[in-house]
Amino acid sequence: GAGVSQSPSNKVTEKGKDVELRCDPISGHTALYWYRQSLGQGLEFLIYFQGNSAPDKSGLPSDRFSAERTGGSVSTLTIQRTQQEDSAVYLCASNIRLAFGTGELFFGEGSRLTVL
Amino acid sequence: QQQVKQSPQSLIVQKGGISIINCAYENTAFDYFPWYQQFPGKGPALLIAIRPDVSEKKEGRFTISFNKSAKQFSLHIMDSQPGDSATYFCAATKGYSGAGSYQLTFGKGTKLSVIP
């Protein structure tokens, strides 16, 4: 498909385990974002990648969270030593960063993480 | 510090009625205000957006009203339909001009239910 693809769609893990969530953005999109959606808390910005620039990591809640983007395309969000409060839907989005900005982020359907 | 406050948290409207969702922001550097619509199990999708140089933007049954001096903006859905039942998020960013990291700051969302 032509949209943002995320995997797995659902992940159940035990407290203390590490998890990896994958995002495959729309081809040609230079910007990639990770957001976390918790019940009743809206969408929380985690990290932003733009081309070859240093990522904006200002939204990562702790050092247990990290993300990388290889080859300017696929991104992996890693959560180490998961905690129950990490349970949420993790959304990935991408867009083309033009000179004037576009405003539209294209979101994937998310990865629902449940930490037992 | 929550930079975009959204209300109400939930809204029930009769079919054919007007749905109104309000948002207020704090950061005067914000220069782009989109609304996203999210259906269950899906990622958010851009619905309509406005820049602060206009006071209103209309697209079909959806209208954004913007009050720069009050730092408030709202979404009006005219002739609401059951198919409009979804969660709506307002957002703001200071990336439209091309500067900044272009991360979107979201409100906490409004769950709209349109009953027949």
**Shortest CB distance from B49 goes to which of A40, A45, A103?**
A103
> How many structural domains are present in chain A?
1
Cross-chain CB nearest to B107 (options A42, A97, A108)? A42
Of A108, A113, A42, residue with least CA distance to A75 = A108
Q: Alpha helices, DSSP H only, in A1-116?
A: none
* Closest chain A residue to B50, measured at CA: A103
List CB contacts (< 8 A) between A90 and chain B.
none
What are the CA-CA distances from residue B33 to residues A78, B14, B21, B50, B78 (Å)?
30, 27, 14, 5, 20
Point out the least confidently predicted range of A6-20, A52-66, B12-26, B67-81.
A52-66
Q: Is the pLDDT of residue B102 over 90?
A: no
* Binary contact (B45, A107; C-beta < 8 A): yes
Contact A107 B95 (CB under 8 A): no
The CA distance from A103 to A115, in Å, is 33
Question: Could you read off the pLDDT of B25-48 as tens digits, one per residue?
Answer: 998 888 889 999 999 999 999 999
Distance CA B67, CA B75 (A): 12
pLDDT at A103 over 70: no
Query: Residue A113 above 70 pLDDT?
Result: yes
For chain B, percent of residues with pLDDT exceeding 70: 91
Q: What's the rounded mean pLDDT across residues B90-116?
A: 81
Query: Rounded mean pLDDT of chain B?
Result: 91
Residue B46 confidence (pLDDT): 92
Nearest to B63 by CA among B18, B107, B104: B18
A4 inside domain: no
Kindly report the CATH number assigned to the domain that includes residue A25: 2.60.40.10
B42 with A42: Cβ contact below 8 A: no
Average pLDDT, chain A: 91
Domain that includes residue A103, residue range: 9-115
Rg (CA), chain A: 14
What distance in Å separates the CA atoms of residue A28 and residue B101, rounded to the nearest whole number?
A: 19
Task: Report pLDDT for A82.
Answer: 98
SS3 A85: helix
Please name each of the domains of chain B with its CATH number.
4-115 (2.60.40.10)
B21, B30, B101: best to mutate for the A interface, most A CBs within 10 A: B101
Whether A31 shows a pLDDT value over 70: the answer reads yes
Q: Does residue A2 belong to any structural domain of this protein?
A: no
> What is the reported pLDDT for B30?
87
Select the residue of A48, A93, A109 nearest B41 (Cβ to Cβ). A109
B44: CB partners within 8 A, 6+ apart = A43, A91, A105, A107, B36, B37, B38, B89
